[in-house]
Amino acid sequence: MLNLNRAMILGNSTRDAELRTTPNGRSVASFAVATNRRWSDKETGETRDEVQFHEIVAWGKLGEIAGQIVKKGTKLYVEGRLQTRSWEGQDGAKRERTEIIADNIIALSPRPEGSSYEPTASAPPAQPSQSEAPVDQPAPKSKKTDEEEINLDEIPF
Range 76-92 average pLDDT: 94
DSSP assigned state of 26? -
Measured distance CA(56)–CA(69) in Å, rounded = 14
**Which pTM was predicted?**
0.68
Fold of 7-126: OB fold (Dihydrolipoamide Acetyltransferase, E2P) (2.40.50)
What band does 109 get if pLDDT is binned at 50, 70 and 90?
A: confident
Range 92-113 average pLDDT: 88
Percentage of the chain lying above the pLDDT 90 cut: 63
Q: To the nearest whole number, what is the mean pLDDT of the chain?
A: 81
> What pairing do the DSSP bridges indicate for beta strands 94-107 and 47-59?
parallel
| Domain coordinates in residue numbering, the chain | 7-126
CA angle 16, 105, 153 (to 5 degrees): 125
Range 7-18 average pLDDT: 96
Measured distance CA(139)–CA(9) in Å, rounded = 37
Q: pLDDT, tens digit, for every residue of 114-146?
A: 555 555 555 655 544 443 434 444 444 444 444
